[in-house]
Structures are given as structure tokens and as C-alpha cells.
Chains A and B, each alone.
Chain A
Amino acid sequence: QVQLVQSGAEVKKPGASVKVSCKASGYTFTSYGISWVRQAPGQGLEWMGWISAYNGNTNYAQKLQGRVTMTTDTSTSTAYMELRSLRSDDTAVYYCARVNYDSVIDYWGQGTLVTVSS
């Protein structure tokens, strides 16, 4: 069965960076993409970007351009999302999710809470 298992919660100070991992299993990792979506406390879902696990091509939300980097390690079927220059409004649960052949997000990780606080 498809599983996406994310790394644990993080607490960071403003200006720092965070790197969240997402280990995939139960499918051929390089045949699908991975999207990252975040959700601030009590708020809706925000699409952050996408990476092809096949060739590493990326597409980032315009508001995060320059601060976010998505990568994959095909040897371990793991995707990573790094966010730099953290601000308090980056406090959120960060989800990785599989993007299928129809370009739809069909499976989600369990989420990783990132708290940015001084």
C-alpha cells in the first residue's frame, strides 16, 4: 500500500531554515511526482510546489520562490522540502503528497508541524 512517512515536528527561530523529509513506499517512486502543501493553524490548504521524482523538475508557488527548495533522493525514495529565512507566518503543518498520472494529489503524508518562534 502507498505510504508517505514524514519526519518529526520542528521548532525553529525566525531566520533559520527547516528541512522536512518524506519517505515513500508501496509504489515506484520515480514514476510519480511529489507536491508539498502547508496548512497554518486553523487555516486552509496552501499549495507550495511540486517536484518530479523522475527527473527532478520543480515548480514552486510564486510567493515562496527563492525561499523553498524541493529535492528527491531516488536511492532512498525520499523527498525533501527546505524552507529558508523562516518567519512566524511559516508556522504550519507541512504535508507531502503523491501526484499521480492524472496530475492529481492522491496520497498524503501524515504532516509535519513546523513552529517558528523566538
Chain B
Amino acid sequence: DIQMTQSPSTLSASVGDRVTITCRASQSISSWLAWYQQKPGKAPKLLIYKASSLESGVPSRFSGSGSGTEFTLTISSLQPDDFATYYCQQYNSYFRTFGQGTKVEIK
């Protein structure tokens, strides 16, 4: 299986900060990467697909970049609603895999 590794595992930030989360794949996945946001007790929500395409209705402060094995999710100006856990997922392989998650906490 393709392994997905996110860093950091936890991130402390303040409202208004620029935040970047990295996701690395154990082998090339081209641009077949999605990012999800999950809040406690809720189902995940799709933010970004195909590495950099913003899902309809998602605020433009979210952006994704990368290809091959290294990807980033950036929140340009962190808002109170953005404190959550973020997951990357590859869908290049027949067997999909998620990263372990990055929790964005209030500093």
C-alpha cells in the first residue's frame, strides 16, 4: 500500500495565521490527492481534490499544491471555524490510504 505521512501531527496557531500542512506519499501519486477537514463528532468534509482543485463552497483561504510525492494544504488566514483535524488521502492506487491527520489547535 502507498503510505501517506502528514506533518506536523499537531499545529498550534492563532486566528489570522498562515498555516501549512504537508503530506508525503511513499511513491508517486501524480496529483491524485484530496484533503479533508474533520471536526469532533462529525464526518469529514472534502476541501481539495486533484491536489489543488477547490471543492465548491469551500472558502478560498484554503489552497492545495504539489504533485508526485509531496503536497501541501495552506490556510491563508486561519479563522475560528478552521480549528479541526485535516487528513490527506491518495486515490492513485487501487487501495486508497489516508494520512494520519494533523490537528490544528488554538494557540
Q: Knowing that A50-B96, A106-B55 are A-B contacts, what are 16 other residue pairs whose CB atoms are under 8 Å apart, sorted by A's residue number?
A: A35-B96, A45-B98, A45-B101, A46-B98, A47-B89, A47-B96, A47-B98, A59-B94, A104-B49, A105-B34, A105-B44, A105-B89, A108-B44, A109-B43, A110-B43, A111-B43
Are B91 and A104 within 8 A (Cβ)? yes
B87-104 with Cβ < 8 A to chain A: 87, 89, 91, 94-101
Smallest CB separation, A101 vs chain B (Å): 11
What are 22 inter-chain pairs, A to B, with CB distance below 8 A?
A: A35-B96, A44-B98, A44-B99, A44-B100, A45-B87, A46-B98, A47-B89, A47-B95, A47-B97, A59-B94, A95-B43, A102-B49, A102-B50, A104-B46, A104-B49, A104-B50, A104-B91, A105-B34, A106-B46, A106-B49, A106-B55, A109-B43
Are A62 and B1 within 8 A (Cβ)? yes
Given contacts A62-B1, A102-B50, A106-B46, are A44 and B87 in contact (CB under 8 A)? yes
The count of residues in chain A whose C-beta lies closer than 8 Å to any C-beta of chain B is 21
Identify the closest chain A residue to B50 (Cβ): A102
CB neighbours (8 Å) of B49 from chain A are: 102, 104, 106
Residue among A46, A103, A104, A111 with max Cβ neighbours from chain B (10 Å)? A104
